[in-house]
Structure 1
Amino acid sequence: MEDQDNGGLLVESYKQNGYILKSDILTKEETEHCLKSFLDYETRLGGKVTGAYRFKAHLLLPWLYDLVTHPKVVNLVCQILGPDIVCWSTDLFPKDPGSGKSCGWHQDSTYIGMDPPDALTVWVALTDSDKENGCVEFSSKSHLNGQFDHTNTMSDKSMLLYGQEIPVDVDKSTAVLAELTAGQASVHHVMTVHSSEPNNSERRRIGVALRYCGAYVKQKAEIGDSVTYVCGRNYGNFPLEPRPSQLFGEEEVLAHQKACGPVGPQDLIAVK
């Protein structure tokens, strides 16, 4: 990562504002590899990554597991959350030009039941992510205001599972764009209010959200997430997920189904 002093400034920004706007994570070669691998994943699924295939895909794809455990990512997360880390999800966020897809103002903490809420998202850009193509936008210091009520819109234009959003206006004076070049990442607290606008450019915006929490964190029993062990002490608070050894292997597909539920008839295609 950056030098130690700069790393300290990044962590201080996270604590004060609820986010880190940008951190250099991947080399040009690593970024190109991840982007090509994502595009190959789309091709395998018939051109679109939809439904449960957007979530916890690191159980199917060794390259994505390698991103979850990338030394620069892990180093940054450990500076914030401490040495004992697990990954509780990965979400893929391709946003196509003209699709109208967006994310309303929301908090990631809304449905995950983490206690304490010592969790965060590392959002890695595989393409440039800017205002024109719908980059993430943070509401500064909003993580200090507790949990907000959300409404499930179930909108087909939302990139969120339930179309959840905060049903009040967010003060635009607190809004900060997280514009990233490919290979950079932003980081935000699980309670930071954030959103993203539709892609109004002629370029795709592709990002991967890597979601981590302290291994000591507990979760409401009825949610029952499994996690991927990353580093440090395992407190035994979550069932552990296996590391994928091959792309879309039979065991990998079964592990993904166990973590996410059946994802439909494409499973049969994926195993072949």
Structure 2
Amino acid sequence: MTKKKFSLSDEQIAQFRRDGYLGPFDLYDAEEIREEYKKLRAEMFDREYAVYDVDHASLLAGYDRHLDINFFSQHIMKRQILDKLEGILGPDIICWRSELFPKYPGDEGTDWHQADTFAHASGAPQIEWPSSEFGGAVTVWTAVTDATEENGCLRFIPGTQEEMVYDESKEMKYQPDQVNKLEKDGMKRGFFGYDYRNLQKDPDFVPDESKAVSIEMKAGQFVIFWSTLMHSSFPNSSKNKTRLGFTARYVPTCVKVYPETDTVDEYGTVLSLDKYGTVLVAGEDKYSHNRRVTKNTRDKEFALEE
């Protein structure tokens, strides 16, 4: 494959395969993203063009805002991101989902988890790889604000991406008031109203936190990781520092997205996929498995930066 301006080196690709993540990388100037954040706060609450008809209180209100907010539509097409992804996923890539992850002062941490088919909440696979290939998605997590241990940065356990310790076909009941109390350190954690421990193949499994690394990032930086990598986040223990992250999830075009369904049912909300579409961000789609859009709902084209 021809190396591009922002391609990963062979050493970086080897590191990613070993550890399951890479970064952080610089993307936006800190002052640039701070100014952009002021505008984004208003746009995030404006659902006139959003593809899903949900209220602001729904945990799914942050889903797929790249399909209606111009900044995020442009963000998922950044060459600084896509050149790197081609070294991991190959030349033909789609963005199948994005999510906004705000963590406000006092919010709990997110418990350790992995995602392969993303069936953990809905009960049905949301992505399906060819049977002979590895599952999961590559997640690009961008810090819109500074992300520190104090306000809830990500944590990874390197090298855990090759084996799923959770069975996503098991049932998790949605309990929005649920909070997991970890006796070891008293850290308040949960998983958006679910208890991820219900999916453990071994009920006695305990993640080895001695190997965990904190992924602190400055606003405007991003990190790349396999969704099957064990990851979590700290609670936001700050008094006044909101942490906002934006994730974009990518897979090769051979992967089927939302196979045989027209709705997403999770976190207490049912979404209609009537206005949804994947975005071809690199190469070509030789499979035509998935519904696809070429413009966002404000009529902005998904175009690579030249």
TM-score (norm 2): 0.70
The correspondence of residues 1-272 of structure 1 with structure 2, limited to 5 A, is: 7-44=9-46, 50-100=58-108, 102-109=109-116, 110-111=118-119, 112-115=126-129, 116=133, 117=135, 119-146=137-164, 148-149=166-167, 152=172, 154-156=174-176, 158=190, 160=192, 162=194, 164-165=196-197, 167=200, 168-202=205-239, 203-219=241-257, 221-223=259-261, 226-235=277-286, 236-244=288-296, 246=298
Residue 231 of structure 1 aligns with an amino acid whose one-letter code is A
Instruction: Point out the structure with the larger helix share.
Output: 1
Q: For 2:65 and 2:12, how far apart are their aligned partners in 1?
A: 28
**Structure 2 residues without counterparts, runs of 5 or longer:** 48-54, 120-125, 180-189, 263-272, 301-306
Inter-CA distance 219–5: structure 2 relative to 1 (3 Å threshold): closer
What is the CA distance between 1:219 and its match in structure 2?
4.7
Q: Is the 8 A contact 1:147 1:191 kept in 2?
A: no
> Over residues 19-46 of structure 1, what are the superposed CA-to-partner deviations in whole Å (9 max), with x where a residue is unaligned?
114111222354235422321224536x
Q: Is the 8 A contact 1:84 1:231 kept in 2?
A: yes
What is the CA distance between 1:48 and its match in structure 2?
5.4
Inter-CA distance 126–213: structure 2 relative to 1 (3 Å threshold): same
Q: Is the 8 A contact 1:119 1:211 kept in 2?
A: yes
Asked which structure has the greater CA Rg, the reply is: 2
Residue 128 of structure 2 aligns with an amino acid whose one-letter code is M
What is the CA distance between 1:16 and its match in structure 2?
0.5
Q: For 1:57 and 1:163, how far apart are their aligned partners in 2?
A: 26
Q: Is the 8 A contact 1:154 1:164 kept in 2?
A: no
Q: Which moved more, 1:121-130 or 1:158-167?
A: 158-167
Inter-CA distance 153–131: structure 2 relative to 1 (3 Å threshold): farther
Q: Is the 8 A contact 2:102 2:244 kept in 1?
A: yes
Q: For 1:106 and 1:113, how far apart are their aligned partners in 2?
A: 17
Q: Which moved more, 1:224-233 or 1:78-87?
A: 224-233
> Over residues 55-100 of structure 1, what are the superposed CA-to-partner deviations in whole Å (9 max), with x where a residue is unaligned?
0111111111101111211112122111111001000001000133
Inter-CA distance 122–149: structure 2 relative to 1 (3 Å threshold): same
What is the CA distance between 1:11 and its match in structure 2?
2.4
Q: Is the 8 A contact 2:76 2:248 kept in 1?
A: yes
Alignment correspondent of 1:252: none
**Structure 1 residues without counterparts, runs of 5 or longer:** 250-272
Q: For 1:5 and 1:227, how far apart are their aligned partners in 2?
A: 23
Q: Is the 8 A contact 1:103 1:163 kept in 2?
A: no
Q: Is the 8 A contact 1:59 1:242 kept in 2?
A: no
TM-score (norm 1): 0.78
Tell me the matched-pair count.
245
Inter-CA distance 108–35: structure 2 relative to 1 (3 Å threshold): farther
Identical residues among aligned pairs (%) = 25
CA root-mean-square deviation? 2.9
Q: Is the 8 A contact 2:6 2:79 kept in 1?
A: no
